[in-house]
A and B are shown apart, each in its own frame.
Chain A
């Protein structure tokens, strides 16, 4: 009851301020006052559309996070503590679903002010198209925008505007189990795919491990980065991945060769998040059954946490084709600003504090008792600071991943940025399973299927 009275008072105050500020007229003010005074749930529901903005105007900063971010980064609450009254929440986005955000936006509302968990190529285009988010440009300080690594800034930018404030950086790299590679007498970090395959074969033949190498079969984690390792200029004029390019065909053939030295379940879907996480490559690497794993750096780090000796993990750049440019794929998980959210200046202040917080980066990179995500910051100044004065907790892989980033390229932002790989996967797998002998035929079918779905979508 006391809480309701407090809410009524807040509502009255908010409405009064809006009346004095000329944002609402007397009629609206009286309507709200009546509703607040009556305090009846039924009338409140009827008048919800006019009440929500008034309540929202006075609400505290309300960020919402994808659950895994909180799980992997235990220092976030420490940053939150610096913002008294912050209404920190977990987002209803299981399996990258943004339905709730879109539904609220259609009504011109948003329960939250900022969402931490947006991966540009996955859902940013849809969020922009649906009018859910707005650019950060009016709120992000200029020194911050200039501090973002250029390739990351490009990833987060659409039509010259920054729609994602980058937070956690992942780059497709390579992890190896030095206990296994040592036993097999092969290098921890092979430079080329030929060496990688030869080493993986030796691992199996020497019985150092049951399997030589593995990868995550989802296209944005395998086909795309492997294609980039030959040449990252692999996108069509409409912004889609060019599945029939020489790079994509080479990547597919490479995947088939890796499968010959890998675990039989490599192509199966994962066990969580709609099949995209908890994938068979992670299980094999965590169970110390495979020598090499190609994936974003936080995966081998997390998996090695299950080993008897996690210090046996080695991380390095993804191998390249003998004549390749040695690029890879990266993405950031960033923060989106809700168009119908509130507290936008405060949101910028909070996200700046969050993304520059040194404790978060130390915990992420060096690991804590609860986990070791290894995700890295998006800012030039942070790396420069570490280069000038290397912290004693800094592992070697940070430099390697940072170097990869100079060559890496993000997957283009597109409404079908992620979906093209989801649609294509079962089709290109016909080649990997031997059902279709010609990789070009398989990839042409992928292109046809993606175009057919785009045509259907209008």
Chain B
């Protein structure tokens, strides 16, 4: 073994070390530098990720109320029983799932189609132009996106209803669609906004995947007489599967846990479709009564566990087959 590599601490220990214990101490000493560099990240990881998770788990087993000066009491599974026996828990979980079902196909299929089309553009300048156009929504700050779409969807003065009522005359002022604010159209409307917002961002993922596919593969298939659909289905799609899996898992998590959009578009009205488990959790933890954060934490844990179960299923469904 090259001594210079071994001395950095990354290589295997020299074979002539006499005792096992001495070897371990030496290894620790040799790795000390690495641990020193890792320390800030480890500290951050434990301080900002591990500790809060365990803290929330602990709170979920107590009757902790933020506004109360009484010390928190350990109440075992009472909060979980309370939450699970509340129909609002189930309806709010279902609402989040419904939004995810609406959103997820749009955030995978549309960007994939767009990426395939953009990838076929041969002129470099035109290809760059399309990429920039695609990325514009992704760089707009969230607040602006919400303001823009709130105006677009406005029942009385929004351009969509203006088109439907005043221009096309399909509806009148009494029958025009109510896009936001608690109607059954609210979640589909928000899903459309989210798909538009993430279109370019998700397409870039697929474009990166497409760039990694050797060009001779589809060309050889075409020479052998494969149709464009067959090329896509048998060559492109399987090679984009890992990217698809990453996107599905990431976006499933973010769709189930949406809170900002729901707070902005729906508020705390418990009958609205935007009152999902995230709002329910926030409502109990920061709005209602003495702020029952024990219950809020339990609602959060239930939501997180439900999400994890689905993520495991998704990982299995989208696992690489070859």
B183 near A268: Cβ-Cβ < 8 Å = yes
**Please, how many angstroms separate the alpha-carbon atoms of A284 and B154 in the complex?**
11
CB within 8 Å of B: which A170-220 residues: 210-211
For the A-B complex, the count of residue pairs with Cβ-Cβ distances under 8 Å equals 113
Which segment of A345-353, A358-366, A449-457 sits at the interface? A449-457
For the complex, is B182 an interface residue (Cβ under 8 Å from A)? yes
Check A283–B156 contact: CB distance below 8 A: yes
Bound CA–CA A97/B67 (angstroms): 13
Inter-subunit contact A419/B269 (CB<8 Å): no
A368 interface residue per 8 A CB criterion: no
With beta carbons under 8 angstroms apart, the residue of B65, B154, B178 that contacts A264 is: B178
B67 touches A426 (CB 8 A): no
**Inter-chain contact A429/B271, CB cutoff 8 Å:** yes
Residues facing A in B268-302 (CB within 8 A) are 268-272, 286-292, 295
CB distance from B193 to the nearest CB of A (A): 13
Q: Which of A408-434 contact B (CB under 8 A)?
A: 415-416, 419, 422-423, 425-426, 429
Q: Is the CB of B290 within 8 A of A415?
A: yes
Contact residue among A97, A283, A287, A426 (Cβ-Cβ distance under 8 Å from B269): A426
Given A95-B263, A267-B182, A274-B267 in contact, is the A416-B286 Cβ separation under 8 Å? no
Q: How large is the interface on B (under 10, 10 to 19, 20 to 34, 35 or more residues)?
A: 35 or more
Asked if B266 is an interface residue, CB under 8 A from chain A, the answer is yes
> Number of contact residues on A: which range applies?
35 or more
CA distance A453 to B82 in the complex (A): 12
Cβ-based interface call for A102 (8 A): yes
B interface, over-half SS: loop
Do B271 and A453 touch across chains, with their CB atoms under 8 A apart?
no
CA distance A269 to B178 in the complex (A): 11
A453 to B287, CA, bound (A): 12
Q: Which of chain B's residues have a CB closer than 8 A to the CB of A287?
A: 156-157
Closest-CB distance, A266 to chain B (whole angstroms): 10
Complex interface: chain B residues within 8 A of A426 (CB): 269-272
Q: Does A289 contact B (CB under 8 A)?
A: yes
- Is A448 on the interface with B (CB-CB < 8 A)? no
Bound complex: CA A129 to CA B67 (Å) = 7
A275 engages B181 (CB within 8 Å): yes
Q: Is A28 an interface residue (CB 8 A)?
A: no
- Do A269 and B269 touch (CB < 8 A)? yes
Report the nearest B residue to A105, measured CB to CB. B67
Tell whether B95 is near chain A: CB-to-CB under 8 Å: no
Q: Which of A129, A271, A283, A425 has the most CB of B within 10 A?
A: A271
A419-B288 in contact given A265-B156, A456-B82 (Cβ < 8 Å): yes
Q: Cβ of A268 and Cβ of B270 under 8 Å apart?
A: no
A99-141 near B? 1/0 per residue, CB < 8 Å: 1001000000000000000000000001001110000000000
User: Interface centre among A97, A263, A274, by most B CB within 10 Å?
Assistant: A274
A386 CA to B275 CA, complexed, in Å: 48
B173 at the interface (CB under 8 A from A): yes
Please tell me if B150 contacts chain A, counting CB pairs below 8 Å.
yes
* Chain B CB within 8 A of A391 CB: no
Looking across the interface, which residue of chain B has its beta carbon closest to that of A126?
Answer: B67
Residue numbers in B under 8 Å from A87 (CB-CB): none
Q: How far is the CA of A157 from the CA of B291 in the complex (A)?
A: 23
Is residue B3 within 8 Å, beta carbon to beta carbon, of the partner chain?
A: no
Q: Is the CB of B290 within 8 A of A458?
A: yes
User: B156 — nearest CB in chain A belongs to which residue?
Assistant: A283
B69 proximal to A (CB < 8 A): yes
Let me know if B66 is at the binding interface, CB within 8 A: yes
Taking the nearest CB of chain B, how far is it from the CB of A428, in angstroms? Answer: 11
* C-alpha spacing A284/B267, complex, angstroms: 20
Residue ranges of A at the interface with B (Cβ–Cβ < 8 Å): 95, 97, 99, 102, 126, 129-131, 210-211, 263-265, 267-272, 274-276, 278, 280, 283-284, 287, 289, 415-416, 419, 422-423, 425-426, 429, 453-454, 456-458
Selected A-B contacts with CB under 8 Å, 12 pairs: A129-B67, A264-B176, A264-B178, A268-B181, A272-B264, A275-B269, A280-B181, A283-B157, A423-B288, A429-B271, A453-B288, A458-B68
